[in-house]
Amino acid sequence: MALVNLQNVSYKYPLAEAPALNGITLQVEQGEFLAIIGPNGAGKSTLCYTLAGFIPHFFKGELTGKVEIDGQDLGKSNLNQWVLTVGLAFQNPFSQITGAKLTVYEEIAFGLENIGVPRQEIMERVDSIMALTGVSDLAQRSPYSLSGGQQQRVALASILVMEPKVLVLDEPTSQLDPIGTREVFQVIKKMSARGLTVIMVEHKVEWVAEFADRVVALLDGKMVMEGSPGEVLTSEHLAENGFGLSRYTQVARRAAQQGLWKPDVRLPVTLQEAVDGFRRGLE
Partner 1 sequence: MKILVQDLHFTYPGNVHAIRGISLEINPGEQVALVGQNGSGKTTLVRHFNGLLKPTSGTVLVGDWDTRHYSVAKLASRVGYVFQNPDEQLFCKTVYDEVGFGPRNLGYPEEKVNALIESALALTELSDRKDVNPYELSPTWRKMVAVASVIAMNTPVIVLDEPTTGQDAVSVQRLAGVIAELRRQGKTVITITHDIDFCAENFERVIALSQGQVLLDGSATQVLGEEEILARTYVEPPQLTRLAKRLGIPRVVRDQDEFLEAYRGLLEARRH
What is the full DSSP assignment across 98-109?
-SS-SSHHHHHH
Nearest to 89 by CA among 150, 158, 184, 1: 158
* Per-residue binder mask for partner 1 (CB under 8 A), 45-84, x = binder: ----------------------------------------
- Candidates 94, 136, 139, 165; binder of partner 1 (CB under 8 A) is 94
Q: Is 171 in the site for partner 1 (CB under 8 A)?
A: yes
- Among residues 60 and 247, whose Cβ is nearest to partner 1? 247
- CB neighbour class for 70 (10 Å; exposed up to 12, middle 13-18, buried from 19): middle
Q: Which residues pair with 215 in a beta bridge?
A: 35, 227
Longest dimension (CA), the chain: 65
- Among residues 68 and 206, whose Cβ is nearest to partner 1? 206
Supply the DSSP symbol for 268: P
Q: How far is C-alpha 71 from the chain's CA centre?
A: 21
Contact assessment for residue 69 and residue 85, using Cβ atoms and an 8 Å cutoff: yes
Q: Is 255 in the site for partner 1 (CB under 8 A)?
A: yes
In this structure, what are the phi and psi dihedrals at residue 188, rounded to the nearest 5 degrees?
Answer: -65, -40
- Among residues 82 and 90, whose Cβ is nearest to partner 1? 90
- Candidates 10, 27, 103, 175; binder of partner 1 (CB under 8 A) is 175
Total chain residues near partner 1 (CB under 8 A): 42
Q: Is 39 in the site for partner 1 (CB under 8 A)?
A: yes
Residues making contact with partner 1 (CB under 8 A):
38-41, 91-92, 94, 145, 147-150, 171, 174-180, 203, 206, 242-248, 250-251, 254-255, 258, 260, 271, 274-275, 278-279, 281-282
